[in-house]
Amino acid sequence: MADNRFFTPEKALPLGELASRTGATVGQGADSSYLIRGVAPLDTAGLEEISFLDNPKYVAAFEKSAAAACFVHPKYADRAPEGMSLLLTEQPYRAYALAAQAFHPDATHGTDTFGNRGIVDPRAHVHETAKLGENVTVEPGASIGAHAEIGRNTIIGCNTSIAKGCTIGKDCFIAPNVTVSHAHIGDRVILHPGVRIGQDGFGFAMGFPKHEKVPQLGRVIIQDDVEIGANTTIDRGAGPDTVIGEGTKIDNLVQIGHNVQTGRGCIIVAQTGVSGSARLGDFVVLAAQVGVTGHLTINSGAQIAARGAVVHDVPAGQQYGGVPAKPIAEWRREVVELRRLGRRPKAAGKSEE
């Protein structure tokens, strides 16, 4: 169960309300008024907690679970242990996520360090021309520059720097030790610790006798409902802006180069690098350690497997993988053939050399 020092449930909720909030159906024989006090994994959940079964690999754990209730696909309902109440849904994991949000709303948008919501700490540095909305929290050591604007209910964490002229929307969480410059940030955005937004793009006119720095004159535009993981860096544009589209989720340790533009709802996983001026359509997925060459387009709905190296445009809705990245079926055939070659016995009389 969640450690109450960090994640205290707001209140107990009856099964019927959880079903209503998540779009699930209360299973036959379940008591809709039964109170649930939290969420937990199948193997640790107890008589006041709800869990979920989404992956068939965990059916055995489901059959042995002591959870009071469980979100489950109807096809697994007959595998439930005696006494477990079921909330039936086609999307158990999504239902579990919504239930967890109901019990722990703070965990979805970040929490302040000191519990002093709506307070500008006297140890923070806020320029006299900055504009702060209602109930903004500014923690010790944070710095808000000239003419910056912060929307209502936003939290600015300890030792974070918001440079002059930046704007941040309402209900955002900007964690400790973040730097933001040359940026406009929308509503309900989460920046985790160590995020760097708006620094120079890597732009140089290379040559003899020295590489000349190209001034980076664009901005970073982060649209609503974006979440950016710890120690990720997003460079500002060289002239056009770098744009992170609405609802995009970026993992830890990602590098986004100057002029990159992503569409809505993209997923970019850890240690991925997207080179300058690349374009991502809506709901593109880049798995871990993908590399994207600059000045190309990955069209909407495309997915790139982990460690793929994208060097050409990718058509909409396609799955690519490998180095260089190619259609996933082709890449898998190549992997199988290479494995066969490696296992092929050497010809008689041939040396290893």
Burial class of residue 14 (count of CB atoms within 10 Å of its CB; 0-12, 13-18, 19+): middle
Catalytic residue among 104, 182, 192, 258: 258
Cβ count within 10 A of residue 331: 19
Cβ count within 10 A of residue 28: 9
Sign of CA dihedral 159, 163, 185, 279: negative
What are the tokens at 179? Answer: 């730097």
What are the tokens at 296? Answer: 């190309």
Active site residue 258: yes
Distance CA 292, CA 234 (A): 15
Sign of CA dihedral 341, 344, 346, 352: positive
Distance CA 177, CA 183 (A): 17
Of 196, 191, 336, 181, residue with least CA distance to 250: 191
Of 194, 198, 176, residue with least CA distance to 185: 198
The answer to whether the beta carbons of residues 124 and 161 sit under 8 Å apart is no
Report how far apart, in Å, the C-alpha atoms of 152 and of each of 7, 113, 167 are: 24, 18, 12
Which residues participate in catalysis according to the annotation?
A: 258
